[in-house]
Amino acid sequence: MASGKGKSPVNTPPPEAKEVYDQAGKLFEENKFDEAIALYSQAIDKYPEYSSAYFNRALSYALQSQYEKATNDAMKVMDLEPNAPDAPYVMGVISEYQNDLPGAQEWYEKSLKNNPNYTQAKDRLKMLKEKMKGEKPGGRLKTAEGADGTQTVVEEGQIKKVAWFTSDMTFKDVIGMEKQKQIIHDNIVLAITKPELLRAYGKKLGLGAIFYGPPGTGKTYLVRAISGETKAKFIIMHINEIVDMYAGNTEKNLHAIFEQARKNAPCIVFADEIDALGSKREGEQQGNMRMAVNQFLQELDGVEKNPEGIFVIGATNQPWDMDPALKRPGRFGESIYLPAPKYRDRRDMFRYNTRKMPLSKFISFGRLARATWGFSGADIFDICDKAALKVAAEEDRTGRKRTIGMKDFMAIIKASGSSLDEWYGMVKKDVISKTETQIVEGKKQEIVKEGRLSPEEKQKYKPMIKDIKKNLNPVNVFVKKFMRFWAIYLF
């Protein structure tokens, strides 16, 4: 646990437990996370109150992306030492990796309340705030009824919390995607910053766009960059949060958002996870969903009739799950595909994400890019962050300062893998027709199951479907694994 802060009297492990614990720390330094976890567990068996062992096991789990186990251990630390800064600190880290940035901030602040000199929490909070600068609240939404949008307890008839954001990010922060950035510049950025230029050419000002692509490829990130480029405010509406179990509330929520947008033009209404609107997965709430979709369409019509300054951008990982009415051509202007990063982009992402880190002189960004063949931008961000976390945790334990080296990055790459590998498997049934063997009356039968996509959808989302198929192709899977293996273990 962090040196230099008060240890509570409970935490005095017997020597035989301490010995195993120290061995675990050495294994952690050698990047042998599984073995370290096994020894931390042994130390805990020998001394069930061993909060430092729980703490370090939580960190090891977090580095391996096993967040549920990491959380359990952090909770245990919280039980054993309720006033120590460690547990809230590691909870902050876990929240960050699960993309809950405001949650992470609360945890780090709690950690610092318990010990204002806890440097690790201080450093992470500083970095977090930097990261959140890309998305800072620019005021709360006041609903038509005058209710304060900051309200978090939602009762029947209330409007949910929605906040405005502004961003300091620009297109320079978005690695690669040059073609996409150009399209967005011509269709959205110009329409916001120089509407008179487009008007002079008789161009209709755009409605917005749909960003689609695998998870973690920068859809949300890109919206922040558009906001920064244009200085326009944006509302993030997470469809899942807007949809309300009470009949009528979802429509009210939607209407309030567009009402606010009209008052704040030019601005961007960002509908994240737009496939959740009208989703077939909702089952019982179909009726409610139908009305919500209708309301949304009505709002879009309003924007279409008077497009001055409101841009509606939708994002989805599964565009084919979108409600058919939303998919109709022209509804959203351009559909823009954001693919997983190519070699050069991955290399530049490693450079970008580590630009403020103390790196060893012997970093090969090319090799890092090859070792992460088929990883997403979000994966690469996490790898860089975890490598830094790992070295910081070591310094905390040993007191020795050092730079972050190739071995650290490789250890994290090996431990977490690509989030996309699994995702491609998950969407397989949606995009690919396949034969299934079924037993009918004791006999085996081959049955062809169609993918869920219509021919039009196949055409419309062609680049993404092509990428998914490519990534499921056994030859490609082999090449991808081989390239990674080669880069991780050999060169």
- Which among 37-45, 102-110, 172-180, 273-281 is the span making contact with ligand ADP, rule CB under 6 A? 172-180
Compare residues 66 and 220 and give the one whose CB is closer to Mg ion. 220
Q: How far is the CB of 220 from Mg ion (least distance, A)?
A: 3
**From the list ligand ADP, Mg ion, none, partner contacted by residue 218 (C-beta under 5 to 8 A by kind):** ligand ADP
Report CA 237 to chain centroid distance, whole Å.
15
Q: Does 114 bind ligand ADP (CB under 6 A)?
A: no
Q: 303 and 258 in contact (C-beta within 8 Å)?
A: yes
Q: What distances in angstroms separate CA 443 from CA 435, 436, 440, 446, 450, one per listed residue? A: 16, 13, 5, 10, 22
The whole-angstrom separation of Cα 374 and Cα 369 is 10
> Given candidates 177, 243, 292, 488, which one binds ligand ADP under the rule CB under 6 A?
177
Binding site for Mg ion (CB under 5 A): 219-220
Compare residues 50 and 171 and give the one whose CB is closer to ligand ADP. 171
Which of 142, 219, 130 is closest to 174 using CA atoms? 219
Q: How far is the CB of 433 from ligand ADP (least distance, A)?
A: 27
Which of 337, 71, 305 is closest to 222 using CA atoms? 337
Q: 104 and 95 in contact (C-beta within 8 Å)?
A: yes
Which stretch of DSSP H or E encloses residue 311?
A: strand 310-316
Q: Does 386 bind ligand ADP (CB under 6 A)?
A: no
Residue type for 387, please? A
Compare residues 78 and 169 and give the one whose CB is closer to ligand ADP. 169
Compare residues 239 and 293 and give the one whose CB is closer to Mg ion. 239
The whole-angstrom separation of Cα 55 and Cα 80 is 11
First-residue to last-residue Cα distance in the chain:
35
Compare residues 50 and 97 and give the one whose CB is closer to ligand ADP. 97
Q: How far is the CB of 211 from ligand ADP (least distance, A)?
A: 7
As beta bridge partners, residue 444 has: 439
**From the list ligand ADP, Mg ion, none, partner contacted by residue 221 (C-beta under 5 to 8 A by kind):** ligand ADP
Q: How far is the CB of 188 from ligand ADP (least distance, A)?
A: 16
Q: What is the DSSP letter of 49?
A: T
**From the list Mg ion, ligand ADP, none, partner contacted by residue 71 (C-beta under 5 to 8 A by kind):** none
**Binding characters for ligand ADP, 313-332, by CB under 6 A (x = yes):** --x-----------------
> Given candidates 90, 242, 313, 349, which one binds ligand ADP under the rule CB under 6 A?
349
Other CB atoms within 10 A of residue 482 CB: 11
Residue 114 phi/psi, 5° resolution? Answer: -70, -35
Q: How far is the CB of 43 from ligand ADP (least distance, A)?
A: 35
The whole-angstrom separation of Cα 221 and Cα 165 is 13
Q: 94 and 70 in contact (C-beta within 8 Å)?
A: yes
> Given candidates 149, 176, 309, 319, which one binds ligand ADP under the rule CB under 6 A?
176
Q: Does 377 bind ligand ADP (CB under 6 A)?
A: yes
Interface with ligand ADP: number of residues (CB under 6 A)? 16
**From the list ligand ADP, Mg ion, none, partner contacted by residue 378 (C-beta under 5 to 8 A by kind):** ligand ADP
Residue type for 146, please? G
User: CB within 8 A of 403, min separation 6: which ones?
Assistant: 358, 359, 360, 391
Compare residues 176 and 374 and give the one whose CB is closer to ligand ADP. 176
> Given candidates 378, 387, 388, 465, which one binds ligand ADP under the rule CB under 6 A?
378
**Binding characters for ligand ADP, 199-238, by CB under 6 A (x = yes):** ----------------xxxxxxx-----------------
Tokens of 4: 């230099």
> Given candidates 70, 93, 169, 174, which one binds ligand ADP under the rule CB under 6 A?
174
Q: How far is the CB of 99 from Mg ion (least distance, A)?
A: 8
Place of tokens 């004791």: 442
Q: What is the DSSP letter of 186?
A: I
> Given candidates 258, 320, 381, 461, which one binds ligand ADP under the rule CB under 6 A?
381
Compare residues 220 and 418 and give the one whose CB is closer to ligand ADP. 220
Q: What is the DSSP letter of 317?
A: S
Compare residues 323 and 385 and give the one whose CB is closer to ligand ADP. 385
Q: Does 85 bind ligand ADP (CB under 6 A)?
A: no
Q: What is the DSSP letter of 143?
A: P
Q: For residue 266, is the peptide bond before it cis, meaning its omega torsion is within 30 degrees of 0?
A: yes
The whole-angstrom separation of Cα 43 and Cα 20 is 6
**Binding characters for ligand ADP, 428-447, by CB under 6 A (x = yes):** --------------------
Report CA 252 to chain centroid distance, whole Å.
28
Residue numbers at the binding site for ligand ADP (CB under 6 A): 174-177, 215-221, 315, 349, 377-378, 381
